[in-house]
Structure 1
């Protein structure tokens, strides 16, 4: 018979284990983990950059826009459309511990019978209204468009991260499409692309060397990237050259009593391709909506000629995958394009993690599933997105040599992907297709 372990030793071991557990828990709490912070298994390019980040809020007015919510019988009244934007940028602020900003947002939708509005706040790592860091050439501009519904704060893990790497990053609150003011869908259909292009033009002007704005001299407007999620993906693809189908214009007319306002964004409109902004050099579309609803056809997708990174979950039940996002990827034959797929993920491959308030018992499950993925840690998705967007945007907006991070085996389960820690790159696929020969000769 073996000698039994003395009782006092058993108790000592138990107490020691308990103390170690409590210390580890307190240590994690003390770190005050912020959205976008790198997890231990974060890929190489997920880390924040060398710049401290400033942030400011701007109120813009897009004058003389079609007031589609009050359109009747094909007559489109005009109004001055308000837009709130958030701007993140490299700053002169010192890198002090605890340099956090508080973002104020809401969950719910409109506060009516859908889901009541629930205010919440969360911390970010930026200085409010900090002095911009001077630059002789300007920083590339990135404009970010949220989903329906959403807000300009939906992807702060990404906007802060990119600003810390030398970009001016602007995220839009799309009027009639946020948690606070969600309205009839025809406003989002019409205004999404228009808002994005307006903000590009406005920030390019404010960031020019001749401007008297605080952003004067900060923006390299010849190198612009556009990033959209869900309905934001719908918008950025159109801004980049994927004109809408005649089927969408007909559907839009039925929704609005005969309005033809969206026809200006259709591939069949002879003037549409003349609107494509040559300053846009890269596009990122997270879970872009619309393909399964006939928003694009072969002609429309053929107009997309900008380098594009698509990001999707192969179980997306909002935008669809095989007949949705992947079909867009396959149909955009004139673009150098990538498709990063999270296996077993649904639609939420872009947002921040769920706020603490979304974890409270008794709330509608959609408050949680507006942000969370059922089979993935959202923080891990965030880190992977930071990694791949740093590589993709760095190549096309900064001429950086990040090609090794995109030249990967198709399946991440087959071998460790470059830039990932051993055994950490599981459950993903990366496809790459070059532009057609005909487009390359143009």
Structure 2
């Protein structure tokens, strides 16, 4: 069995990276001890198991694909009944592991485990059912999972709270506190007697996921406030929603405050420019993050990007109008692309210019021209195949040049889409929403 805390220490010092964690290799050893009577299950979203005198307490329950494996791993360590599960928030990689434990309780004639969550979690589940098709499409694209089916059945919480809940589970005190950040329904769990802090997705070993381009509003200012609150607790063990634990009060304080500083810098910069009357385009290309911030191993933009956070800040404080009057009531994109292609000498001229720009390193401009070329080309024509070949090549270059998983996923999806189109194939389900 891997020494999880030893591995986590080597990740902090840079001797190792998180690839073994993200590969799923850590799950092969089942529950991994992080402290006396505390274990971690390294699922897509981490699960933490606490042994108390009143039974087991879970902080999060993982995703639907690992629910049976989680139950098996828990039962390999202890037969204590599950008494309470706390949802850190309503994302599906954290809340879909309860079924085996509910079934077990019924079979053993025991009370069903109590699930505790913030009062906004059921509202999230309702929205997920309402937008199941959209979530299937965008998450299939983000995670490159063709045919992904978004779940529509959720284990509802038994107990809801508003701002905080002092939970006493026999010999264990757990203070639950609500915060807003990646979601509006998030919960942090503080075990003061043991100096253990479960922070959910407020911290995940990378730049905060506060700008996801395909998801609903995230809350930058409130996220920073939650990080500052957690940093002031004096925790000696931090258990994140993703990634490995961090041990040591100074390390924990350092990483939480550094994450807050990044968010504070972006918010202040964006608001200053917005208050100066600048457009979104101007704000996007003027806000910069100091390199020393993003160079920290726990703040690298490997999942989300600061530029996407800028857009989320604009959306929250400025609405959807970006300052471009032509975009207020726009022409259909395909018509605009056709007009640009006509001026340029046809879709092939745009496609070839896009490839030249990409070769010269001007990938963002190349992306625009490649998109116009593909939109303007008549399906089934030679120019259609050439335009999509160019688009695929440019999108592949954009993916390779992007630091974040989200950008790589979207560009990679677009490249696959155009590769299929260049062969005369229809886009798959995961490629819906783009035409022709």
Same fold (TM over 0.5): no
TM-score by length of 2: 0.27
Asked which structure has the greater RCO (Cα within 8 Å, sep 6+), the reply is: 1
Q: Larger strand proportion, structure 1 or 2?
A: 1
Q: Larger helix proportion, structure 1 or 2?
A: 2
TM-score by length of 1: 0.27
